[in-house]
Amino acid sequence: MSFHRSALAAIGASAFFYVAAETLPIGLLPQISADLHVSEARVGLLMTSYAVVAALSTIPLTAVTMRIPRHLLIAVTVAIFAVSQAAATFAPTFPILAGSRLLCALAHGVFWSVLLPIVARLAPPDQIGRASALTSLGNSLAIVLGVPLGTALGQWLGWRVAIGSMAVGGVICVVLLLTVLPALPPLPRDRAAGVGQQLGNAVRILRDGRVARLCLVTAVLVIGHFAAYTYIAPLVRRDGGLDGAGLSALLLGYGVAGLLTTYLVGRHIDRRPGPLLLILLAAQAASVALLAPVLGLAPTIVATLVWGGAFTAIPAVLGSVPLRIAPHARDAASAVYVVAFQIGIGSGAFVGERLVTAGSLGMLPLLAGVLAVVAGTLVLFSRSVFPTRISADDHHRVAAEAAAVAR
């Protein structure tokens, strides 16, 4: 079995626009705030509301859609994304803008839940992690190009043009997905199961201690990261005086660092996930914590670039774990992992908003650093989830178990 590279590329492109659109308000906080006459802290809550809806809807909507062919389902979720971005482009008020994003959030959880199992069906057993990392390059490119270029475009032509470009990209991705994805019918096991049974599978999967630990590590880390990252614009403005083109350039550097790290991690993710994750978490903790005091321009730039290089690669490692530790229920495990990630995003953005409103902007990097250390400690004591080394025999055993359950 070989890589379906064109299909993986189309999925990665779709992930690019999803990530870019979800996080674009971070770079456009001042523009949206001024145009719609709301505070920057309230605009930051766009991240929280989006994540809450995605977290609440992921498991039930994933269960309801289990009988839909996977290649059609992922295309539908991207089509909903395109419609929601078009609505956001013309939103006359902040509530309508928030509502259009909530429409996207309903499709978001399903998109990410089916993405990983689809990737597993498009790659050889011992290269699933590498394939996941390849599609994760779309996430990294969203940070490299989507957010900084969207921020620059929003500053030049207005935030509505930046969001409108996301809608256009979504339409292109729908066409690509329908063109290059092979037919991926639902597995016989999923076709035979009812909605109630699918919901039960998603709930029961959390009883698996390894899945529960993965979700705990994910939520703890992401809460800290998004508490700080949601307010990176005012943070670097405080520390280094960066705004406008300077902010766009720094976000570009943040993403470039993440892209390079994701590429390097992808070469080893199928063999040494535990050590890779610990190295990334250590770099994340140290770099983001350095931003707690006011550093000045040069140290702020260096710390932010290391932060971007570390965190952007982490989802590539975490995202392959559900496929490996729960081969008997990959869709359910992926769904609860997505929920944990969205809980982290929403909770982090909310905590960040509370601290910013209270005038404690400098506490955000410190919180992110502490929670990265906590996540690293959990990883250190979860070797069955994040092993030091994985052999080829281990990969084939997991693939055999997944194939047996699917029949």
pLDDT value of position 400: 55
pLDDT value of position 292: 81
How would you classify residue 313: left for phi > 0, otherwise alpha for psi between -120 and 50, otherwise beta?
alpha
CA distance 12 to 73: 16
Tokens 């250190």 correspond to 380
Written as one letter, the residue type at 318 is L
pLDDT value of position 1: 44
pLDDT value of position 209: 82
Segment-wise mean pLDDT, segments of 10 residues, the chain, 407 residues: 74 88 76 80 73 81 83 94 92 87 87 83 73 72 73 82 91 94 76 56 74 92 90 75 72 81 78 88 93 79 89 85 76 81 84 85 90 94 86 58 51
Task: For the domain made up of 5-406, give the CATH fold.
Answer: Growth Hormone; Chain: A; (1.20.1250)
CA distances from 191 to 70, 75, 124, 273 (A): 12, 19, 24, 33
For the chain, what is the HEC assignment?
CCCCHHHHHHHHHHHHHHHHHHHHHHHCHHHHHHHHCCCHHHHHHHHHHHHHHHHHHHHHHHHHCCCCCHHHHHHHHHHHHHHHHHHHHCCCCHHHHHHHHHHHHHHHHHHHHHHHHHHHHCCCHHHHHHHHHHHHHHHHHHHHHHHHHHHHHHHHHCHHHHHHHHHHHHHHHHHHHHHHCCCCCCCHHHHHCCHHHHHHHHHHHHHCHHHHHHHHHHHHHHHHHHHHHCCHHHHHHHHHCCCCHHHHHHHHHHHHHHHHHHHHHHCCCCCCHHHHHHHHHHHHHHHHHCCCCCCCHHHHHHHHHHHHHHHHHHHHHHHHHHHHHCCCCHHHHHHHHHHHHHHHHHHHHHHHHHHHHCCCCCHHHHHHHHHHHHHHHHHHCCCCCCCCCCCHHHHHHHHHHHHHHHC
pLDDT value of position 192: 52
Q: Are 356 and 44 in contact (CB under 8 A)?
A: yes
Tokens 């903790």 correspond to 285
**Domain residue ranges of the chain, discontinuous segments joined by +:** 5-406
CA distance 342 to 334: 12
pLDDT value of position 220: 95
